């Protein structure tokens, strides 16, 4: 017979020595001590993994969407199929998508599986925004560009893409925030990201500090990423801000 | 003929020579359409002249223009720029040698005015200093202050300013040919007239070969050295200098298109400088004053608003050059007069328009034929 007290502590031990603080024993919601004690061993690694998971997902998603969008922009027939497929991917619940992906050999219970799922959620948003941005370039601007002797490639890189930037960055903002939120679910299949402390807290149902801190970090990360993208847009599209200050 | 390389600028101040343009039996047929959009169009535009393509909608005037820089590919025939077929050129290289101005201007919203003007020079790989110098030179040429305008974005400019930049951008690499598709069509009447005048002054300096598309016959008469009137289906109805078009319309379509007031329009082609004014013979003239540079049409209008009394014509220094009267203007248009109607066919109906208009005072602009 096993002594209950020895094997199943009331306070969970996830992430290291958690049970020795007074506030934990009092079972309050938030324990600042725990945060400072576990920052470098639990929270910071989780945050770092979360950032990597998100950045990789958005980067791969952007590369794929960009390629597909350029194709669909040149060949309109491709647009609807891409929207349909990425739309279907977008609507699959993330947990279900993990279940579908895990049995595949090269994926399994790994960060790769999580990335595949996260990437699939960025495709619809990014693809649509890139294509819309390109299509919204005024006809007369395109006409003038061609008429002055730009090749198709020059028109695309010097005129159409710069003008599509606001729409593209708007897409990146939505995709990034979505991925940062969804990446917490990745801990369901791999031991990475801010989802790890959140799941741990949910599972033992008593100690909530790690849930609150990890959740808060995810929100803060999303806000920071969004803010950075706004700054990026301002830096890249100085012309878009002048519209309000029309001087005649 | 130094044709192929005429677009290569020779120094920042020199304008490259203009090149002659020739359309040879040009036909454009769109697949699935029985009637051609342009049918066997042949035109010759001498170097340095303004050819206006004018016609009702559906006459293919814009299509004809876009065939020249191969924005649209022709079905048959040939187009020679400076003696060389445009069909043997790569379209993008060809277009860098042809200035292109469109009605909606199409400035790049994400580029400053300076960068917009620098578009073609950059495509041609000019160096930075030369481009900067060229930007300022062109802004001044179109009457904009380089200091103020260079760094602005297109949204910060008025419509008229934008079109001036559009023209500067088209002139940037000194093209031997300019194509202008209703460049002043979207601009209010007052500014349009100002831009037209500026354009004529500019053209007197740069002397480009220009193909100018408009649907406005008055603009065509004002701007063109030669006017090509197209009818539906892209058929050339008449190709002639404005005066000839007005005095000898080739057929009823042309006569109708130039308008019943073509007598008045002809008066607008002549200034008082070209008229034998009545000498005052020592008498002190008392009528309203009109500058010598005014058109006969404006003078007529002023006579009519002055109740038919003669006007005193003065030169730039305000010296009296002579008198102009209603009879004098009427005589210009009458049989044997300097601007007499050479159209035997039209007779009283059309020819009387100007005289009739003169008779009823208020018709100076409208040309109501009371004859």
Q: How buried is residue B368: exposed, middle or buried, by Cβ count under 10 Å (0-12/13-18/19+)?
A: middle
Q: In CATH, what number is assigned to the domain containing residue A85?
A: 1.10.3720.10
In sequence order, the 6+-apart residues with CB closer than 8 A to the CB of B190 are none
Q: Does B104 touch chain A (CB under 8 A)?
A: yes
User: pLDDT higher for B7 or B23?
Assistant: B23
Q: Is A140 within 8 Å of B102 when comparing Cβ atoms?
A: yes
Nearest neighbour of B96 by CB, restricted to A148, A239, A242: A148
| Nearest chain B CA: its distance from A228 CA (Å) | 21
- What's the pTM value of the predicted model, to 2 decimals? 0.77
Report the gap between the CA of B124 and the closest CA in chain A (Å).
10
Segment holding B23, helix H or strand E: strand B21-28
Structure tokens at A23: 């506030």
Phi/psi for B296 (5° steps) reads -60, -35
What pLDDT shows up at residue B29?
A: 92
Residue A207 placed within a domain? yes
For A149, name the nearest residue in chain B, comparing CA atoms only. B92
Chain A residues inside the 8 Å CB shell of B108? 141, 144-145, 159, 163
Q: Is the pLDDT of residue A225 over 90?
A: yes
**CB of B180 closer than 8 Å to CB of B210:** yes
Q: What range does the domain containing A158 cover?
A: 40-246
Average pLDDT of chain B, as a whole number: 83
Cβ separation B106–A138 shorter than 8 A: yes
Higher pLDDT, B284 or A45: A45
Is the confidence at residue A15, as pLDDT, over 80? no
Count of structural domains, chain A: 1
pLDDT in tens, A62-118: 999 999 999 999 888 888 888 888 888 888 887 787 788 777 777 777 778 888 888
Q: What does the pLDDT average to over A49-74?
A: 93
Interval B89-105: pLDDT, tens: 999 999 999 999 999 99
Task: Classify residue A15: in a domain, yes or no.
Answer: no
Quick check: helix, strand or coil at residue B177? Answer: strand
- Tell me which chain B residues have a C-beta less than 8 angstroms from the C-beta of A138: 104, 106, 109
pLDDT at B366 over 80: no
Q: Does the distance separating the beta carbons of A248 and B106 come in below 8 Å?
A: no
Residues sharing a CB contact under 8 Å with residue B235, sequence separation 6 or more, in sequence order: B39, B40, B41
Whole-number pLDDT of residue A21 = 56
Which of chain A's residues have a Cβ under 8 Å away from the Cβ of B153?
239, 242
In a domain, A53, yes or no: yes
pLDDT of residue B6: 43
Q: What pLDDT was estimated at residue B364?
A: 38
Nearest CA in chain B to A165: B110
- Choose among B69, B155, B158: nearest Cβ to A242: B155
CB contact under 8 A, A246 and B156: yes
Cβ-defined contact of B109 to A141 (cutoff 8 Å): yes
Taken in order A55, A58, A64, A69, is the CA torsion positive or negative? negative
Q: Mean of the per-residue pLDDT values for chain A?
A: 82
Lowest mean pLDDT among A41-45, A49-53, B181-185, B329-333: B329-333
Angstrom distances, CA of residue B108 to CA of B116, B150, B254 = 6, 14, 39
Half-sphere exposure of A172 (CA within 13 A, CB side): 25
In a domain, A221, yes or no: yes
| B191 in contact with A, Cβ within 8 Å | no
Q: Which among B110, B119, B170 has the least Cβ separation from residue A162? A: B110
End-to-end CA distance of chain A: 89
Total length of chain B: 371
pLDDT digits (tens, 9 = 90+) for B17-60: 789 999 999 999 999 888 899 999 999 999 999 999 999 988 99
Asked whether residue A11 is domain-assigned, the answer is no
* Cβ-contact B223, B200 below 8 angstroms: yes
Structure tokens at A182: 């969804």
Residue pLDDT, tens place only, A135-164: 999 999 999 999 999 999 999 999 999 999
Nearest Cα residue in chain A from B156: A246
More confident call, A201 vs B95: B95
Shortest Cα distance, chain A CAs vs residue B170, angstroms: 8
Domain membership of residue A188 (yes or no) is yes
Segments in chain B forming alpha helices (H): 61-68, 91-96, 113-117, 119-123, 128-141, 146-149, 159-171, 189-206, 217-223, 242-247, 252-258, 262-269, 296-305, 326-333, 347-359
Instruction: For chain B, report the end-to-end CA distance as a whole number of angstroms.
Output: 53
Is the Cβ–Cβ distance between B160 and B128 less than 8 Å?
no
Shortest Cα distance, chain A CAs vs residue B109, angstroms: 7
* Percent above pLDDT 70 for chain A: 84
In chain A, what residues touch B92 (CB-CB under 8 Å)? 149-151
Among the partner-chain residues B95, B103, B157, the one whose CB lies closest to the CB of A148 is: B95
* pLDDT score at A248: 39
User: For B229, phi and psi rounded to 5 degrees?
Assistant: -95, 125
pLDDT in tens, B117-136: 999 999 999 999 999 999 99
User: Are the beta carbons of B71 and A147 separated by less than 8 Å?
Assistant: yes
Q: Let me know if residue A154 belongs to a domain.
A: yes
Please tell me the predicted confidence (pLDDT) of residue B223. 92
C-beta atoms of A143 and B102 within 8 A: yes
């Amino acid at each position: 017979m096993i002594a209950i007290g020895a094997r199943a502590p009331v306070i969970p031990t996830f992430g290291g020595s958690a049970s020795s603080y007074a506030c934990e024993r009092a079972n309050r919601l938030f324990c600042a001590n725990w945060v400072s004690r576990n920052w470098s061993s639990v929270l910071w690694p989780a945050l770092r993994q979360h950032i990597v998971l998100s950045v990789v997902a958005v980067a791969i998603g952007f590369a794929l969407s960009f390629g597909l969008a350029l194709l669909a922009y040149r060949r309109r027939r491709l647009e609807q199929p891409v929207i349909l497929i990425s739309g279907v991917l977008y609507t699959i619940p993330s947990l279900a998508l993990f279940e579908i992906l895990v049995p595949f050999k090269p994926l399994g219970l790994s960060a790769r599986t999580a990335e595949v799922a996260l990437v699939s959620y960025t495709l619809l948003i990014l693809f649509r925004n890139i294509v819309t941005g390109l299509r919204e370039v005024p006809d007369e601007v395109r006409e003038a560009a061609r008429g002055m002797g730009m090749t198709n490639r020059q028109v695309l890189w010097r005129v159409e893409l710069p003008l599509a930037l606001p729409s593209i960055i708007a897409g990146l903002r939505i995709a990034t925030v979505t991925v940062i939120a969804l990446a917490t679910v990745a801990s369901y299949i791999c031991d990475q990201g801010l989802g790890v402390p959140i799941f741990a807290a949910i599972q033992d149902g008593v100690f909530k500090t790690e849930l609150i801190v990890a959740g808060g970090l995810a929100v803060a990360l999303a806000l920071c990423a969004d803010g950075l993208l706004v700054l990026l847009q301002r830096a890249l599209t100085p012309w878009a801000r002048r519209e309000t200050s029309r001087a005649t | 003929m130094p044709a192929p390389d005429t677009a290569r600028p020779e120094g920042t101040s020199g304008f490259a020579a203009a090149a002659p343009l020739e359309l040879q039996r040009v036909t454009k047929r769109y697949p699935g359409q029985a009637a051609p959009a342009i049918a066997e169009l042949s035109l010759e535009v001498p170097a340095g002249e303004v050819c206006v393509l004018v016609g009702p909608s559906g006459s293919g005037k814009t299509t004809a223009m876009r065939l020249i820089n191969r924005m649209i590919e022709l079905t048959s025939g040939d187009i020679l720029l400076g003696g060389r077929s445009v069909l043997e050129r790569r379209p993008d290289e060809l277009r860098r040698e042809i200035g292109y101005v469109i009605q909606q201007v199409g400035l790049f919203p994400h580029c400053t005015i300076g960068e917009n003007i620098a578009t073609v020079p950059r495509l041609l790989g000019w160096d930075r200093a030369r481009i900067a110098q060229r930007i300022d030179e062109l802004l001044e040429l179109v009457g904009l202050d380089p200091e103020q305008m260079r760094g602005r974005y297109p949204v910060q400019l008025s419509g008229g300013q934008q079109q001036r930049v559009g023209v500067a951008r088209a002139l940037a690499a000194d093209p031997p040919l300019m194509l202008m598709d209703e460049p002043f069509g979207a601009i209010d009447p007052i500014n349009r007239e100002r831009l037209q005048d500026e354009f004529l002054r500019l053209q007197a300096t740069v002397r480009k070969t220009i193909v100018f598309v408009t649907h406005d016959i008055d603009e065509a008469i004002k701007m063109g050295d030669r006017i090509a009137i197209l009818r539906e289906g892209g058929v050339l109805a008449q190709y002639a200098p404005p005066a000839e078009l007005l005095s000898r319309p080739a057929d009823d379509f042309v006569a109708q298109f130039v308008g019943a007031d073509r007598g008045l329009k002809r008066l607008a082609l002549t200034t008082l400088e070209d008229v034998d004014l009545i000498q005052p013979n020592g008498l002190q003239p008392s009528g309203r004053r009109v500058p010598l540079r005014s058109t006969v049409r404006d003078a007529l209008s002023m006579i009519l608003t002055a109740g038919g009394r003669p006007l005193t014509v003065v030169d730039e220094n305000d010296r009296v050059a002579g008198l102009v009267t209603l009879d004098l203007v009427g005589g210009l248009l009458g049989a044997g007069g300097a601007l007499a109607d050479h159209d035997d066919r039209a007779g009283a109906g059309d020819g009387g328009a100007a005289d009739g208009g003169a008779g009823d005072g208020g018709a100076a602009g409208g040309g109501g034929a009371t004859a």
